[in-house]
Amino acid sequence: MARLRIILHGKAAGNAGVRTAVQGLRREGHIVEVRVTWETGDAQRLTAEAVAEAGAGKIDCIVAGGGDGTINEVFATAYAVGLPAQCSLGILPLGTANDFAHATGVPQDPTVALRLAATTAPQWIDIGRLNDRLFINLVSGGFGSRVTVETDPELKKRLGGLAYVLTGISRFAEVSANSGRFRAEGFSWEGRFVAVAIGNGRQAGGGVPLCPDALIDDGLLDLMILPELDRTERLDAFARLLRHGAASIRAGLVTARSAWIEYESEDALNVNLDGEPMLSRRFRVECRKRALPVRLGNNPLMSVKS
């Protein structure tokens, strides 16, 4: 028997599949409680309350029910307030993209996902920190991050990850390169670039593998930079990046792997941090190795099995 506390995004409160999954887990003998978010700050508050109850021995697993943004909020809060050793985290993927869940083997089916959270052993994963903000999956910057933010939510519902590709291609005339300087362990690069990704996980934007070799337990972050290209090459390269990922244009990329990465520029860069947009002229990203225990599926992003 497991004791689960689901922090459920308010948009999923009426999801019949979630209700069926919760009832099914209860019939199997598990204790499942649900807390629904209503306004900004609720996910952090409800997670902090769950962590406190876990510390008192009342909860075994805190489950983030929502998309990548909800996972980031719940996991980051659990880490910040101090998740007790006897409690772990789980994922109930209910967003449009569900990039982190897909990459780590957590299925879309709510019943199967909750059963994973109730019955599997936790795996210790890394987390990233950009200045004072934590992230679980991936940071993207440049034109690609604008595409993620500006894609119509209704289009995402109908087309899933393909919506990002269509939006990117339709707005390609707006592409302008950024100038910046990157530093990491044994690495330095300066120049103009169209897109950048810093991955703890591998994929973003509805399944695009921007950092296809990243591992979430090695204490390192993967850096991918797409330098500025000639106009004749730009559309083809960016379309291939959005449709097939970084591996399809590997020869034209600048890459590195490091426990920390620094960026600075005279101009503000559009940055997307696990679905949350921001603007920044300089930042430092660090990896916190094996910082959180998470109950995942058949997970190819792990170098060490827990």
* Number of Cβ atoms within 10 Å of the Cβ of 86: 11
Q: Any idea what the CATH number is for the domain that residue 257 is in?
A: 2.60.200.40
* Structural domain boundaries enclosing 156: 133-290
Is 33 a residue of the active site?
no
For residue 167, pLDDT beyond 60? no
Look at residue 166 and tell me if it is in a domain.
Answer: yes
Mean pLDDT on 185-197: 94
Q: What is the pLDDT of residue 252?
A: 80
* Burial bucket for residue 18 (CB in 10 Å: 0-12, 13-18, 19+): buried
Of 72, 92, 120, the domain-final residue = 120
* Number of Cβ atoms within 10 Å of the Cβ of 20: 12
Q: Give the predicted TM-score (pTM) of the model.
A: 0.87
Of the residues 33, 264, 276, 286, which is catalytic?
A: 276
Helix (H, G, I), strand (E, B) or coil at 145: helix
Q: Say yes or no: 46 and 91 in one domain.
A: yes
Percent of the chain with pLDDT strictly greater than 90: 67
Mean pLDDT on 105-133: 96
Helix (H, G, I), strand (E, B) or coil at 38: coil
Cα(282)–Cα(262) distance, rounded to whole angstroms?
8
Among the residue ranges 91-100, 101-110, 123-132, 198-207, the one predicted with the least confidence is 198-207
- 109: closest CA among 33, 28, 20? 20
For residue 7, pLDDT beyond 90? yes
Q: Say yes or no: 196 and 47 in one domain.
A: no
Q: Say yes or no: 141 and 114 in one domain.
A: no
Q: Any idea what the CATH number is for the domain that residue 81 is in?
A: 3.40.50.10330
- For residue 94, the 8-state DSSP code is -
| Number of domains comprising the chain | 2
Q: Say yes or no: 75 and 207 in one domain.
A: no
In tens, the pLDDT along 16-71 reads 999 999 999 999 999 999 999 999 999 999 999 999 999 999 999 999 999 999 99
Q: Say yes or no: 58 and 146 in one domain.
A: no
Counted residue by residue, the chain has a size of 306
* Burial bucket for residue 81 (CB in 10 Å: 0-12, 13-18, 19+): middle
Cα(38)–Cα(189) distance, rounded to whole angstroms?
44
Residue with tokens 């330095």: 188
Q: Say yes or no: 210 and 281 in one domain.
A: yes
Residue that wins the pLDDT comparison between 245 and 90 = 90
Q: What is the pLDDT of residue 306?
A: 47
For residue 159, pLDDT beyond 80? no
Cα(203)–Cα(16) distance, rounded to whole angstroms?
28
- DSSP bridge pairs for 31: 3
- DSSP bridge pairs for 142: 195
In tens, the pLDDT along 207-220 reads 788 899 999 999 99
> Which regions of 202-302 does DSSP assign to beta strands (E)?
203-204, 208-209, 221-227, 254-258, 260-273, 276-294
Q: What is the pLDDT of residue 194?
A: 84
Q: Say yes or no: 141 and 113 in one domain.
A: no
Percent of the chain with pLDDT strictly greater than 70: 83
What DSSP line would sit under 14-65, residue for residue? T-HHHHHHHHHHHHTT-EEEEEE--STTHHHHHHHHHHHHHHTT--SEEEEE
In tens, the pLDDT along 252-290 reads 889 999 999 999 999 999 898 887 888 999 999 999 999
Q: Say yes or no: 167 and 257 in one domain.
A: yes
User: 229 near 251, Cβ under 8 Å?
Assistant: no
